[in-house]
Structure formats: C-alpha cells, structure tokens
Amino acid sequence: MTRLWPHLWATNASVKVRFGIALVLLIASKVLLLYVPLLYKAAVNALSPELGAVTVVPIFIILAYGSARLISQLFGEIRDAVFAEVTQAAIREIALIVFKHIHALSLRFHLERQTGGLSRVIERGTKAIETLLTFLTFNIIPTILEILLVAILFAYMYGISFASVIILTLGAYIIFTLMITEWRISYVRTMNETDNEATTKAVDSLLNYETVKYFNNEDHEAYRFGRALERYKIAAVKNRLGLSLLNSVQAFVITIGLVIIMLMAGFKVKDGSLTVGDFVALNAFVIQIYIPLNFLGFAYREIKIALVNMEHMFNLLDIPQEVKDMPNAPAANCQEGSIVFQNVSFHYDDRRSILNNISFEVPAGKTVAIVGSSGAGKSTISRLLFRFYDTTAGAILIDGQDIKTVMQDSLRQLIGIVPQDTVLFNDTIRYNIAYGRPSASEEEIIEAAQAAQIHDFILSLPDGYKSMVGERGLKLSGGEKQRVAIARTLLKQPKIFLFDEATSALDTRTEREIQKSLERLSKNHTTLIIAHRLSTVIQAHEILVLENGQIVERGSHKDLLTLSGIYTTMWERQSAQSPSA
C-alpha cells in the first residue's frame, strides 16, 4: 500500500476531485442505510394489531423507507462510476512505469526472462490494483464504518448486551476468516507460479511452432504443458476446499450470532420492553450488517490475492538497472563519428572472459570490419557499442566522448544497426520499415525500401505495404526479413552504421546487390561491419581478425592475405566452398 499510494494520489487535479466526491457519496450512502431499519420499525409499529385496528396505512413512512433504500443504492452506483477514473488512472500510471522499467533493464535480464510468465505477472498485477482499490476503498472501510455505527446504535437504543453479542460475533468471524485465508494464500501463490510456468511453456512452444514440427515433438510439448496444468489443478482444488471450509465457518458464526440476537429480542418483546417493530428492526440491522460482513470475507480474500499479484509486479520494479546514465549526463555530441576502443575487456560471467584488452579505431567516414570464428566475441563488440552492457575494463569513445558519460538514448540515436537475427513486429511491412523513424513520410519509406532492394517485392504482394508479416516476421523469408531490417536502418539516417552479419541470410545475387547499396549509402559514414562471410568485407579500409577475444591480425584484405595467417586460412576455406567468393 505504501508503494501504491503515491501513484494513486500523484495524479491530476480532476482525479483528486473525483476521489473527494466518491468519499462524500460513500458517507451519504452509509448514513441513509442506517435509517432503513428504523423506518422499517416505524412502519411495523404503525401496522401492529397491538395498537388497535389499522385505520391508516403509513404511506409516508413506507415511501421514506423505499426512498432511503433507493437513494443509498444510487449513491453507491454513482460513487463507483466517479471512482472509476481514479482507479484507471492509477492502473495506467503504474503499468506504464513497469513497462518503461522493463525496457530500461539490461539485455542480460531480457536474455534470461520468460516472456509468457512476465506478461502474466504484469497482467495480474495491473488487475490487482483495480481489485485492491475497489474492495478496500468501497467495501472494507465502509463495512467497518457501518459495523461500528450499528454497534454504537445498538448500545444506545437496546443496551450493551446486544452490542456485546454483535462485537463478539464479529470478532469470531474476523479471527476465523484471517486464519483460514492465510492458510489458503500459500495455495494461491502456488497457483500463480504454476500458471506462469504453464503460460511460459505454451508461449515458448507456439513461438517455436516450426521447431516442434521439425522434430515431431507435439506430444512432448503437450506433456510439459499438461504437467504444469496438473500442478495448477492440485493447488486449485486445495484452494477451493479451503474456500468451502471458510464459507461454512463464516455461515456458522453468522447464524449463531443472528439466532442469539433474535432470542434476546424475542424475550424482550414478550416482557414488553421492546415492540414487534423493535424485533423486526433488530433483525433488519443484523442482516444489514452480516450481508456486507459476509462480503467482507470475500473482499479480504481477494485483497490478499491482489497483494500477492501486486508484490510480484512491484518486484519487477526492484530489479536494478545494470546500465544506467550518470547523473546529469549530457547528450552525445557527434560531428564526425569516429569510434575508438581503448583497452576494452568484457565478460558476461567472471569465469569466462569474452574480450581481452582489445584496442582499435574506426576513423570518421571509414569502414572497419571485424571477422572471426563463431564465439570469438564479434557480436559482443556491437552490444558494447550500443551500451547494452558496460565494459568490464577500458573505454569506448565516439568523437572523443566516453559513451558511459553520455545519455544512452542519444548514443543509440547515432547508430543504425542491421542485426544478424532480424525479428519483426507482427504488423505491416510499412510499420516495420517506418519503425526506423516513425515520423518519416511515405516517400522516405519507399525510398528506403528501394535502397534495400525490397520495394518491388512489396508491390508484388496483394496488400503491398499493408501486408502483415506475421509473428516475428515468419511470413517472410530470411532474406526478405533482412532487407526489411536494412530498409528500417537506412530510414533512421544514423551517423554510424553497424552491420552485424547483415547479409548472412541472403543469396549470392541479392547479397551483391545489397552490398553495393550498403557501400553507397555508408560512404562517408563511419561503418563497422561484423561478418563471418569474408566476401562482404574485402572493400573495408581495415579488417580486424578476432580470435578468443583478442585481435590477432589487422590490415586491408590484400595485406592480410600476404600474412598467410588465420585470415588467409579462412579466405581459402570459404573460397573453396564458394568459388564465386
């Protein structure tokens, strides 16, 4: 609650006004409800045969009784409608904060996270806010207020004995509710955990649909999903048994209290100290208390569940940002775009080093390529340049500025990347290209598509640029996805180009066409190429050969071939596999 309240109250003035109006309506509704049994008592006494023949029907009292019930109900409905803005404003603010925080977390977190389980945590957490605010503000607090007012009224009108029975009944009810609900919460936690597990397995399996089919593992996936559902079922059954026990105990306590009150009132009516109207009013008061009290137990259970769900969501906010901007960090100032790696070392895990004291420079307007075998650390360099991670030692400079000292957003605006594994949004081709610069005009989007050699293909589709690409772009081939990624990067118009195996998924002819486009577009731009296919980097001003996290060779394509070293071996091997290389 201490974490929720600032978000609830730190809203605009209109929301605060709505909060105040809702509270006024709440109090008015409860005050009117106190009059309902008293008006009922007056009507019964007016119609009581003990007072002689009934000559006049107490129309005014009956109308007042009906009006009090109706207006109280209307106040409650208006209150809920007014408070909806407060609830939804809080949900929006917190959900947005969580969403932004997750995007701010490091790549390490996102490589380890489980998408299905994470989405369920956020979904349940935001719903829990609405549950908590609704039940706590307009059920728990009003019910407690109503119970206190009725207990005071009982003591004043009917004596301390009636008020004592009410208080003892409520005490027993609350104690049993707390004890059994706390026991059930452990099963609720288990249900949430197994639900996350089942959802994660289902989402992961569906995202990898083709892989499942390739290996005929439908039954295996169904078994894993079913096993998680079985654990959920066991916890859900135990939770439901606990609910049945709680409802039974609550009903028993309420019935005992009601019977005692009625017996006491009956004896009072017999000896003449109370009227039949008092008997009926006492019954109405008790039922009026016990109906919301019964709901109080349900509300408490829902609040406990909501608190568990909110706890999981707020735990996401407690995950620290691994890569953070320095206080008052300035925006990156890039005029030329030179890149310098100074004695950079890095490891994901202390037990295994990835880069070892590497130094190199990409002069402004020049192209430098990094080649090497898989696992040599090539892609790690691109992640460090984008500052997905901070270096373990050394520094990376752009135009002489240490990238750790500038704002991450401004740094990433300078760099355009075409990654090896292109993942597209499940939207139109136009949307995916425009993602490079959402404010771009239609002409600029088409120009980027033409430069990436994909415009003609898009026009050949029935829906053209409005064609949907499917989940992760699965409706497109690997080469088509790569060309969309190239168009997206070209549209960004960055100062620095970074191509991470940018043409790896293309056939030889398309690769050559796009390679020419990339060379033309990156001309006079600082360009860093990470490649395994050496034919794509022979025009680079300098080529760095990376092996076991260290630069073992460097020079132009011709210079490296004269060394007869690792680069030469790689070139000969690839040339033998593809003579056209």
Residues 218 and 212: their CA atoms lie apart, in Å, by 6
3-state DSSP helix/strand/coil % of the chain, to nearest 5: 65, 10, 25
C-alpha neighbours within 13 Å on the C-beta side of residue 448: 28
Measured CA to CA in angstroms, residue 228 lies from 25, 43, 191 at distances of 46, 60, 10
- Main-chain phi, psi angles of 335, to 5 degrees: -100, -45
| Sequence-ordered list of residues with C-beta below 8 angstroms from that of 321, at least 6 positions apart, any chain | 101, 104, 105, 106
3-state secondary structure (DSSP) of residue 527: strand
pLDDT at 425: 85
- Cα(360)–Cα(377) distance, integer angstroms: 14
3-class secondary-structure state, position 355? strand
Q: What is the reported pLDDT for 344?
A: 93
Q: Give the whole-angstrom CA distance, residue 153 versus residue 158.
A: 8
> What structural domains and CATH numbers belong to the chain?
4-318 (1.20.1560.10), 339-577 (3.40.50.300)
Q: Are 143 and 292 in contact (CB under 8 A)?
A: yes
What contacts 547, CB < 8 A, 6 or more positions away?
A: 372, 373, 376, 566
Q: Give the pLDDT score at 95.
A: 81
| Cα end-to-end distance, the chain, whole Å | 65
Residue-wise pLDDT for 193-204, tens only, equals: 888 888 888 888
DSSP label at residue 349: B
DSSP-assigned states of every residue in 197-231: HHHHHHHHHHHTHHHHHHTT-HHHHHHHHHHHHHH
pTM as predicted: 0.64
Contact between 326 and 404 under an 8 Å Cβ cutoff? The reply is yes
Question: Per residue in 188-240, pLDDT tens?
Answer: 778 878 888 888 888 888 878 878 887 788 888 899 888 888 888 888 888 88
pLDDT given for residue 581 in this prediction: 42
Q: CA nearest 485: which of 526, 448, 442?
A: 448
CB atoms within 10 A of CB 472: 15
Which amino acid is residue 335, in one-letter code? Q
Report residues of the chain scoring pLDDT below 70.
6-13, 15, 49-57, 111-117, 294-297, 472, 502-508, 510, 514, 517, 521, 577-581
| β-bridge mates for residue 497, sequence order | 416, 527
